[in-house]
Amino acid sequence: MRIPGLILAASLLLSACAERWARPGTSEAEADAVAGACRNEALMAVPPQMVWQMTSPARVERDRDCWRDGGQERCRVRERYLPAQYSQVDIAAGPRDGWRRNCMAQQGFTFQGYRPLRLE
């Protein structure tokens, strides 16, 4: 992964919400530790598979500028071609997330929703 990809990944993590998992008699810190272990286990079981994928198709943007010249309306249309955009995408992210969620469920945890991510 190149440096811009790392910066993008870091910014997404900073703006994300953390999942909340609960199990009777378990503190939030213990739940976070188990979640980390399940995340690592899932990463080992389903490693990233990065592929190039189109993230935005090619398109033509049109701008139309009109004005009055004497008694006539004149218009100018400008077209600009924007090529397709490609980026590396992890196609194993979905299966890895399923593995992680299954790991948490096997540990007796239930998904409770999301909470704001705390940076401590």
Residues with Cβ < 8 Å from 92, sequence gap 6 or more? 46, 47, 48, 49
Please check whether residue 65 lies inside any domain of the structure. Answer: yes
- Alpha carbons 106 and 40: distance in angstroms, whole number: 15
Whether residue 5 has pLDDT greater than 60? no
Residue 97 belongs to domain spanning: 3-49+91-116
Question: Mind listing the pLDDT tens digit for each residue in 13-70?
Answer: 444 568 899 999 999 899 999 999 999 999 999 999 999 999 999 999 999 999 998 8
Say if residue 71 is in the same domain as residue 83: yes
Tokens standing for residue 67: 């004005």
Say if residue 83 is in the same domain as residue 96: no
Q: How far apart, in Å, are the Cα atoms of 29 and each of 32, 33, 114?
A: 5, 6, 15
Say if residue 36 is in the same domain as residue 65: no
Identify the three-state secondary structure at position 104.
helix
Please check whether residue 54 lies inside any domain of the structure. Answer: no
Please check whether residue 55 lies inside any domain of the structure. Answer: no
> What pLDDT score was predicted for residue 103?
96
Could you give the number of structural domains in the chain?
A: 2
Please check whether residue 67 lies inside any domain of the structure. Answer: yes
Please check whether residue 112 lies inside any domain of the structure. Answer: yes
